[in-house]
Amino acid sequence: MLDGLTVGSNSTPSRQSNASFSGVGNKMNGFAAFEGGFTLQDINTTCSFDSIFPVSGVVDMNRGLLYLFQDLIFDKGILLIGLGSIYGSDYLVDVSSSVTAFTAGDTSSDPIVLDNLIIGLHGDIAWQLPVTIQGNCSINGMGSKVTMEGVGGITVAAGGQLTLSNVKIAGLSGSNFVCVADTASVVVLNSSLCLDNDLTFANGSFLFEGDAVLSGTNKLNYTSDSASTIASNATLHIGPGATFYYAPSAANRDLLAMTDETSRLYLDGCTLLTTATGLRLTKGRVFIDNNVTFSCDGTVPSESICFGDGTVSSNDVEVTWLSGAMLNVYGGFHENNVG
């Protein structure tokens, strides 16, 4: 094996058996079909992927670094042994249903980096390695489920944004799904976050788009002092048994914003819990279904769970009670609509 190895050509096609790279400056060229997969020898190996063909066979990146200059399509039947860092340049890694786990091949808690990368899934994935998201990345699940296992987790770096699209994220627990800074954000688009244990979200923000779901029977501790938003024509559905615990580190009760009257918060047999900071919802619609609990540590209106801001009717919250709804209120609750 040589440093700076170039496999394949940009003018003559070829079918490659497993290509092994070490060192830096390696390259997989345009018309090489890596049917036998490829191997990056170690964490210090770097390689550029510029092939127009899908990759099959055995892929082991050994935490090495891959730069994408084309979409990387993992073909059906591929055996993905270990991932590495991927600088995607907005290209796609399309993961066939043959891949069932994202792992680095070890149990290290050192993260790999996914930078400006789109991940397309075609089956459920066991996410078994820590990942740092840089730049704008997205996971398009196409209905798949991603389950955090072991040391698996996602950390969105400062300035980074992760978009979850049509995917269910399960196994959320503790701090395995975090933003490291308030400049980081997570877009939840037609996706669900399933709380297997309490999860603390201490930095950054959410943007809920489409039908976003918070499910499970545990708590999302929202301690960030950044505002999260339910977008227009979007619904945040907090499912039965789930608790949204609003406990921002800053004394700001307006950190769950609803963009307009088409923004919907669907409280379905869940608990909305706040510290004495309170939580003020404005503009959108709130649906109450089944047995819902409001629990607030505050005792005065300014510390309460509050609908509307009492000043502008356009900030009123429209509340819809569904059949079978029952609301238990503990602590401060203030219906402060103008209209």
Partner 1 sequence: MKIMLDNTPLAPSVPRSFSAVGRIDGAMAREMRMIKRVVVLLFLSLVLVHFLSATTVGSDSAVSRQASVEFPEVDSDNEMNGFAAFENGFTFETADTTCTFDSFFPVSGTVDMKGGALYLQKGLKFDTGANLINLGTIYGNDLSIEFSDGVTTLTVYADSQGGGGMPGSWEQKDSENLTDDVNSVDWSYDDNYVVGVRNGNQIYVYSFNGSALTFVDSETTYADGYTVRSHPSGYYFLVNVINGYEIRLYKLSGSTVSRIDYDDSNELGRAVDWSADGNYAVVGSTVNVRVFSFASESISRVTDLNLGAGESFSRDAVAWDPTGDYIAGGITHSTASRLRIWYFNGSTLTAKTSVNTGSAAVTAVDWSHSGNFIAIGTNGGSNQLRVYEYNTSGDTLTERESISVGGDVLSVHWNSDTTRLLVGRASASGAELMVYTFDSGDYSLTLDLEAEKTTNINSVRWSNDDAYFAYGDSANNLTVYSYVPGVDGGGGGSFADSVLLDNVNFIFNNDMSWKMATTIQGVCSIDARDNIITIEDTGVLTIESGAQLTFENAELQGLTAQNFICADDTVSVVLRDCIIRLDNDFSFDTGSLLFDGEVVFTGTNKFIYTSSQASTINPNSTLMFDHDTTFLYDPSVANRDLISMTDETSFLYLNGCTLHSTATGIRLTNGTLFLDNQVTLSCEGSVSSEAISFGDGVLANDMTIKILSDACVDVFGAFCYKGVG
> Which residue number, 35 or 209, has a Cβ lying nearer to partner 1?
35
Question: Is residue 33 part of the contact set for partner 1 (CB under 8 A)?
Answer: yes
In the bound complex, what is the minimum distance in angstroms from residue 54's beta carbon to partner 1?
Answer: 8
112 vs 288 by CB, closer to partner 1: 288
What CA–CA distance (Å, rounded) separates 99 from 90?
A: 21
Type and span of the H or E element at 304: none
| Residue number, 32 or 187, with CB nearest to partner 1 | 32
Q: What is the DSSP letter of 55?
A: B
For the bound state, the minimum distance from the C-beta of residue 69 to partner 1, rounded and expressed in Å, comes to 18
* Closer to partner 1 by Cβ: residue 142 or 158: 142
Beta bridge partners of 6: 27
The residue (of 25 and 241) whose beta carbon lies closer to partner 1 is 241
Residue 75 or 254: the one with the smaller Cβ distance to partner 1 is 75
Among 310, 305, 307, which Cα is nearest to 332's? 305
Applying CB under 8 A, among 14, 18, 275, 302 the residue interacting with partner 1 is 14
Binding mask 62-101 for partner 1 (x = CB under 8 A): -------------xxx--------------------x---
Position 17 contacts partner 1 (CB under 8 A): no
Q: Which stretch binds partner 1 (CB under 8 A): 6-14, 42-50, 105-113, 177-185?
A: 6-14
Q: Contacts with partner 1 in 238-297 (CB under 8 A)?
A: none
Nearer to partner 1, 53 or 91 (CB): 53
On whether the CB atoms of residues 123 and 147 are closer than 8 A, the answer is no
Our CA dihedral for 316, 321, 325, 328, rounded to 10 degrees, sits at 20
Selected binder of partner 1 within 4, 159, 174, 324 (CB under 8 A) = 324
- Beta-bridge partner residues of 266: 237, 287
> Which residues, at least 6 apart from 142, have a Cβ–Cβ distance to it below 8 Å?
120, 121, 122, 166, 167
Number of residues that bind partner 1 (CB under 8 A): 16
Distance between CA atoms of residues 83 and 24, nearest Å: 17
User: What are residue 76's phi and psi, to 5 degrees?
Assistant: -60, 135
Alpha carbon dihedral 279, 168, 134, 252, in 10-degree steps, equals 0
Using CA atoms, how far residue 37 sits from 18, 25, 61, 186, 231, in Å, is: 5, 18, 10, 32, 42
Q: Does 323 bind partner 1 (CB under 8 A)?
A: yes
Write out the residues near partner 1 by the rule CB under 8 A.
12-15, 31, 33, 53-54, 75-77, 98, 143, 168, 323-324
